Structure 1
Amino acid sequence: MEDIVVDKTTLCPSARPESENSVVFGIISGTVAEPRVTYLKQPIPITDELIAKASPVTPAEIFRTAAPCATKACLHFDGEDCRLAKQIAGKLTVVAEELPPCSIRRDCRWWNQEGKAACMRCPQVITDNYNPSEVTIEVSNLAAG
């Protein structure tokens, strides 16, 4: 059986809040039609108390979380790159006028792989989005392989 390798130095900016060693690096703001991430100055470790504060909605509806990249254990990983990052950089529209003030950029898989193209689109990425646009749905489906 193949060992699952987790890259502890590279963070996935689209991790589930329940992922091991996850941190909140943004809060979802904006509107239902146009949600946007407001970036925190410093990431906050996910705790049971923080997850409880999200109730009655899911934590991923209000928090953007990052966790160590799961590489081969992730359906978006193609063995070398993150397909989700490629799709976001290539298909979503730019929503930021300048690089967002992101506290995880240095360790972010999307930044390290796609650079500014991913960052300029990142504020519109919501993990639990119950009102996604057609393009968002397409990006998610293509990235899943």
Structure 2
Amino acid sequence: MKEIPTDKTTLCPSARPESENSVVFGIISGTVAEPRVAYLKQPQPITDELIAKASPITPAEIFRTAAPCAATGCQHFDGQDCRLATRIVENLPAATEELPPCSIRRDCRWWNQEGKAACMRCPQVITDNYKASELAVKVAAPHSN
């Protein structure tokens, strides 16, 4: 099996819950039409028990999770930057007027790459969102412009 290089010190704030060393840093709240991330004071490790308790829905429908950035092993990474973070900043409107109280900010790839602009849009990013807007779907696509 090919080993995927990761950046162990930088966290991807849009990682799948199944990712190695993933942590929950937010809970999905809001409404179906306008979901929002409620940030935890401290990130919590993802456990098999936590994933099992989320059934029958996916953990990514109720949790925002982060994990070490997969760097070149990720479809959004261009060798230097996370293109997902760039597309989010360029295309999505701000979801908040103040920086959210995020417990992973210091290690977050999006924060380190895009700064406050990424954080202002982060609360509306839901990993498994089956009611996502057309714009959100386009922004999430790895090869969209």
Give the TM-score, by structure 1 length: 0.95
Partners in 2 of 1:19 and 1:109 — Cα distance?
Answer: 16
Q: State the shift of 1:53 in Å.
A: 1.5
Does the 8 Å CA contact 1:84/1:143 hold for their aligned counterparts?
no
TM-score (normalizing by structure 2): 0.95
Tell me the distance in 1 between the aligned counterparts of 2:39 and 2:6: 25
Q: Does structure 1 residue 46 correspond to structure 2 residue 50?
A: no
* 2:114 is the counterpart of 1:114: yes
Number of equivalenced pairs: 145
Deviation digits for residues 43-85 of structure 1 (CA, Å, limit 9, x no counterpart): 0000011111111100000000000000000000001000000
SS in 1 for 2:127: coil
CA distance in 1, matches of 2:128, 2:144: 15
Q: Do structure 1's residue 93 and structure 2's residue 93 form an aligned pair?
A: yes
2:107 counterpart letter in structure 1: D
SS of equivalent residue, structure 2 residue 68: strand
Q: Which residue of 1 aligns with 2:21?
A: 21
What is the deviation of 1:5? 1.7
Q: Which structure 2 residue ranges, 5 or more long, are not aligned?
A: none
Once residues 128 and 3 of structure 1 are traced to their aligned partners in structure 2, the CA distance between those partners, rounded to angstroms, is 26
Could you say which residue in structure 1 is the equivalent of 2:71?
A: 71
- Cα distance in structure 1, aligned partners of 2:93 and 2:73: 28
Please name the residue that 1:84 is paired with: 84
List alignment gaps of at least 5 residues for structure 1: none
CA distance in 2 between partners of 1:102 and 1:49 (Å): 24
| CA displacement, residues 106-141 of structure 1 (integer Å, 9 cap, x when unaligned) | 000000000000000000000001001111011012
| Percent of aligned positions that are identical | 77
Which stretches of structure 1, 4 residues or more, deviate above 6 A after TM superposition?
none
User: Kindly tell me: are residues 53 and 3 of structure 1, through their superposed partners in 2, closer, same or farther at Cα, counting changes over 3 Å?
Assistant: closer
Secondary structure in 2 aligned to 1:121? helix
